[in-house]
Structure 1
């Protein structure tokens, strides 16, 4: 089996304080043998400045891929990030999800040919998120007592997953399920993404483009592993995105599941066209 060479793709949009907290946690990983691509869905100058400051002190390769702001286009941003990546295994992380120190090493351990890993998250309250960003708290250094106090005080929605790690067994699902599909924390082989043409950019607005990817991978024979009790990230609070298209997007996923669809209508292959790539800028 070939070595696991990880490219971490972090999506972001106009939230440089959260992005900085996330990338700082990435710089503190126990395993620094990977690269970071910031997949930017049209952020402004403040984010570009924040990324430049991070690049200046990065202990590993860090690149910035940007596209014009034309509304919620996270699927396209992730595809552009994938095309810019050099690794054979892609880990997707959102720019408001702070990883624990063993995040990369755990994803590397769970990586298995013919499988994707659907990671897990712990939600922070609005108050805890504000403290974290304003005081530059290092969530990776929270003690056992602090984690328990945050949970009791309602600042974390769960805590047991932060206190123990389960081994890599009984994680594989034999059927497609909607449970815990989160592109904010997901690991998948690049070859498998290419097999199904990546994320489908034809989905409009927020919602279920990640479920569509997992469903198409499942139809193509790629099984899913549950990353709970191994890959937890701290999800910083934010107001929910508009979900006007969520119901119709879910219906589309169900239709494609019934049709055993595997190929994205508009995905990686379309972005490889010269004109399309020109619209996505790799910022030095």
Structure 2
């Protein structure tokens, strides 16, 4: 069963320069048993042009799902990506997170029945990000380059670039823990995602739709493993949106953890009906 098809769902919004780098990384994967779904939250023509360029040269299937720009609707476009995907295992990746060449292979190695994976990231600084989107081949750089970037504060960590840990027991997370949930690098089995009705589209504005997704999977009996020292992506710099810790979205997640709810209020089923 190790040859199951993986669908990498890349969410993006009006950042074609970053998306170009991410898709370049995906086309260099050592594991070739996967497809790419670009889940586009209403971007304009430049993003479409990048997707069409890469679709024309990708040896793997590459599809583009899009809906009109009507504010931040990440959950909705991810659900559309899920419905377009054909894989039995889904990896969610943000369009500004560059995967290393063994990214798909490492996720496959960690995949396990009854488990989801929350991956991790290496944060790149503004100056290094500018060089990357201007053409610096970031995946081809060696230890000397990365030591300099770490010293300059242009990378928050570098050791996971050169060392990999196996599927050790320390990866498993007991209970529901908010820490370490990264929607930019997250994986789960399609059957489990269907069971919880995908992402909840009632989460409006930016923030916590990823934690809600993980919480409902946990409530449904799906345990969590961390992808540290294995699945790190290079997260290109951008200004962080402020995430209010007392926001309605956060409070909704806390209520769901307490109530043990599993299904999204408006998720895959509702998305499927709207698209039919």
CA distance in 2, matches of 1:142, 1:191: 38
Match of 2:43 in 1: 43
CA distance in 2, matches of 1:126, 1:142: 18
Q: How many Å apart are 1:163 and its aligned residue?
A: 2.1
Match of 1:146 in 2: 145
TM-score by length of 2: 0.97
Match of 2:226 in 1: 226
Moved over 6 A (4+): none
Equivalences for 1:108-257 in 2 at 5 Å? 108-134=108-134, 136-170=135-169, 171-241=171-241, 243=243, 247-257=247-257
Q: How many Å apart are 1:142 and its aligned residue?
A: 1.3
Match of 2:275 in 1: 277
Does the Cα contact within 8 Å between 2:120 and 2:185 map onto a contact in 1?
A: yes
Distance 1:246 1:65, change over 3 A: farther
Q: How many Å apart are 1:3 and its aligned residue?
A: 4.2
Does the Cα contact within 8 Å between 1:205 and 1:243 map onto a contact in 2?
A: no
Match of 2:29 in 1: 29
1:63-88 deviation per Cα after TM superposition (whole angstroms, max 9, x unaligned): 00001111111111110000000000
CA distance in 2, matches of 1:57, 1:97: 21
Question: What SS is found at the alignment partner of 1:272?
Answer: helix
Q: How many residues align?
A: 275
- Counterpart check, 1:53 vs 2:57: no
Name structure 1 gaps, 5 residues minimum.
279-284
Question: What SS is found at the alignment partner of 1:71?
Answer: coil
Match of 1:11 in 2: 11
Match of 1:282 in 2: none
CA distance in 1, matches of 2:106, 2:275: 32
Does the Cα contact within 8 Å between 1:73 and 1:201 map onto a contact in 2?
A: yes
Distance 1:68 1:196, change over 3 A: same
Name structure 2 gaps, 5 residues minimum.
none
CA distance in 1, matches of 2:243, 2:42: 19
TM-score by length of 1: 0.94
